[in-house]
């Protein structure tokens, strides 16, 4: 059945291409594909929910089942609303474009994103923090201001772009550039641009292989993102039968996060290129089968809800909503009219809104809509400009500190940069004497219960580097305002440095936890053993 569907789709596209450079679809089919994209990505994110980041540095063995069945989407909807961040972030931008129009400014989009009332993490939260502090895009997503700039955050929320720009690759990449630099840059930006292109190309290409080749061709070949995805394509061409062989190849060559403070030198990897590589792997080795493809994407591990979400969404566009097997689609239908956290959007609204936006954009670029038929001009998109993060900035050591900043905290290092991984905590349930006696790793998260979401306290910390005041870091307690890392600095002069943190307005109900410090150097080749003297 699947092969018959692929053949018919391919034949349809082939006939169209003979007589026209345009893609011609009925309005019903356009809506069907847009709905398929939204539905597929939502199915994928729920399918991967129980395995998300529980398998880092390993794939999920075949013997371990990943559940799915009746009422399963509703179960996760009620259990973990934050699971749907892939979807509600998309919805925020869909709403923004609907209300502000296609010509809205990057700053307007950034503010809509930054002041949405839901939980964010990694590059998204770092970008949000920057914007709330007055650092607007593209600076908000630049790696010097955002240690998470290479993370996959834009990748997981770029789906809507390809749905509002069906078969319009130049427009999809233009929108991606406007949105993606709010929270990312470099490979992090390319991850989202790649996903936007996957969705857009899925409206007119006729196979996962063709979709993948079209999307990656718009990423500059000099980038590490392109090289990683190209490695997957090349490996598959020589070894097409076992996805696990390709996974092992990726693990050896590309599982080396240099930016995200949670992942450097650890098995956690939220880097965009590795997780996009898992998307590409699943699309190729899944051979177009919906179930097999999202299963492989999830079993690759790491961000195992976001990656099957992307794969499911792209295949949802390729085949359309009506051709998603009922086994997968029926549980989704139970929540299609429910409103996502922090938005006024439901899937049903998203279906229609993306459809309306797509039709407006089609006419805007010279396409035609008449007699329930849409005609979309297929245009070649230019390759994106090259941008790469962490230039001359290589991680050399991760030092476990496992302590608290009470009044001051000092450390020395040799290199050209550092990142402190830690956070502001509320300690109303424990005494300072207890903090002094007990290691941070033995204090459970329940002790550090976050203060109420409206806690107005903001810790102010001076960051002194080599005797010079570099900045006064603002560390809000409120969840949506929080700064993910207390302090960092890149591209210092290579050599020995002294760093001191001074807490200006300390209150007894709060501590700043210092978990680890990552050190960087401009020298890519460094000693196997690092001594921090």
Q: Are strands 510-521 and 394-405 parallel, antiparallel or unpaired?
A: antiparallel
Q: Are strands 458-465 and 468-476 parallel, antiparallel or unpaired?
A: antiparallel
Q: pLDDT tens for residues 47-105?
A: 999 998 889 889 999 999 999 999 999 999 999 988 888 899 999 999 999 999 999 99
The pLDDT confidence band at residue 304, using thresholds 50, 70 and 90, is: confident
Q: How far apart are CA 248 and CA 410, in angstroms?
A: 41
Top-ranked range on mean pLDDT: pick from 475-479, 493-497, 527-531: 493-497
Fold of the domain spanning 28-366: ADP-ribosylglycohydrolase fold (1.10.4080)
Q: What predicted TM-score, i.e. pTM, was given to this entire model? A: 0.91
Whether pLDDT at 532 is above 60: no
Whether pLDDT at 317 is above 70: yes
pLDDT value at position 483? 96
Sheet with strand 373-377: strands edge to edge: 22-26, 373-377, 368-370
Encoded tokens for 90 = 């998309």
What residues does CATH 2.60.120 cover in the chain? 394-521
Whether pLDDT at 131 is above 90: yes
CATH 2.60.120 fits 394-521, yes or no: yes
What residues does CATH 1.10.4080.10 cover in the chain? 28-366
Q: How far apart are CA 14 and CA 49, in angstroms?
A: 38
H or E stretch covering 124? helix 122-132
Q: pLDDT tens for residues 16-29?
A: 443 458 999 999 99
Q: How far apart are CA 194 and CA 220, in angstroms?
A: 11
Q: How far apart are CA 410 and CA 490, in angstroms?
A: 18
Range list of H helices, 260-346: 272-285, 290-299, 306-319, 326-333
Position with higher pLDDT, 505 vs 508: 505
Cα→Cα distances 218→83, 299, 445, Å: 30, 28, 44
DSSP three-state, residue 83: helix
Pair 461, 473: CB distance under 8 Å = yes
Taking alpha carbons only, the member of 274, 272, 294 closest to residue 285 is 294
Percent of the chain with pLDDT over 70: 90
Q: How far apart are CA 212 and CA 215, in angstroms?
A: 5
Whether pLDDT at 441 is above 50: no
Whether pLDDT at 7 is above 80: no
Give mean pLDDT, residues 287-309: 95
Residues 6+ apart with CB under 8 A from 160: 90, 91, 93, 94, 350, 354
Position with higher pLDDT, 160 vs 425: 160
């Amino acid at each position: 059945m699947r092969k018959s569907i692929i053949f018919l789709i391919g034949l349809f596209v082939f006939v169209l291409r003979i007589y026209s450079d345009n893609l011609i679809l009925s309005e019903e089919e356009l809506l069907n594909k847009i709905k398929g994209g939204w539905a597929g990505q939502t199915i994928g994110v729920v399918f991967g929910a129980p395995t998300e980041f529980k398998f880092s540095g390993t794939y999920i063995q075949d013997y371990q089942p990943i559940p799915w069945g009746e009422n399963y989407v509703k179960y996760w909807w009620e259990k973990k609303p934050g699971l749907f961040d892939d979807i509600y972030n998309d919805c925020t931008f869909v709403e923004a474009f609907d209300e502000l129009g296609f010509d809205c400014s990057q700053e307007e989009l950034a503010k809509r994103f930054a002041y949405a009332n839901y939980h964010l993490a990694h590059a998204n939260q770092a970008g949000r923090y920057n914007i709330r502090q007055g650092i607007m895009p593209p600076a908000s997503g630049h790696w010097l201001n955002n240690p998470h700039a290479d993370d996959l955050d834009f990748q997981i929320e770029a789906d809507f772009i390809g749905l509002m720009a069906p078969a319009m690759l130049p427009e999809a990449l233009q929108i991606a550039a406007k949105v993606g630099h709010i929270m990312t840059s470099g490979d992090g930006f390319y991850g989202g641009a790649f996903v936007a292109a996957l969705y857009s190309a899925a409206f007119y290409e006729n196979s996962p292989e063709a979709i993948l080749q079209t999307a990656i061709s718009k990423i500059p070949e000099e980038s590490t993102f392109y090289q990683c995805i190209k490695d997957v394509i090349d490996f598959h061409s020589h070894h097409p039968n076992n996805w696990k062989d390709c996974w092992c190849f990726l693990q050896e060559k590309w599982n080396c996060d240099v930016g995200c403070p949670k992942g450097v030198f650890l098995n956690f990897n939220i880097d965009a290129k590795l997780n996009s590589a898992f998307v590409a792997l699943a699309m190729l080795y899944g051979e177009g089968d919906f179930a097999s493809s999202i299963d492989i994407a999830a079993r690759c591990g790491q961000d195992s809800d976001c990656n099957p979400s992307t794969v499911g969404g792209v295949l949802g566009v390729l085949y359309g909503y009506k051709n998603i097997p009922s086994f997968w689609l029926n549980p989704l239908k139970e929540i299609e009219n429910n409103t996502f956290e922090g938005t006024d959007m439901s899937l049903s609204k998203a279906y229609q809104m993306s459809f309306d936006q797509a039709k407006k954009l089609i006419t805007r670029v010279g396409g035609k809509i008449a007699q329930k038929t849409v005609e979309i001009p297929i245009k070649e998109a230019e390759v994106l400009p090259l941008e790469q993060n962490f230039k001359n900035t290589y991680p050399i050591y991760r030092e476990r500190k496992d302590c608290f900043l009470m009044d001051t905290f000092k450390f020395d290092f040799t290199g050209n940069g550092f990142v402190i991984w830690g956070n502001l905590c509320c300690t109303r349930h424990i005494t300072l004497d207890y903090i002094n006696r007990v290691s941070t790793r033995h204090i459970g998260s329940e002790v550090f219960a976050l203060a109420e979401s409206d806690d107005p306290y903001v810790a102010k910390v001076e960051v002194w580097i080599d005797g010079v005041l570099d900045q006064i870091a603002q560390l809000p307690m409120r969840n949506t305002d929080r700064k993910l890392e207390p302090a960092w600095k890149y591209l210092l002069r290579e050599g020995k440095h002294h760093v001191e943190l001074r807490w200006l307005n300390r209150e007894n109900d709060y501590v700043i936890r210092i978990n680890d410090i990552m050190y960087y150097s401009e020298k890519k080749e460094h000693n196997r053993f690092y001594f921090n003297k």
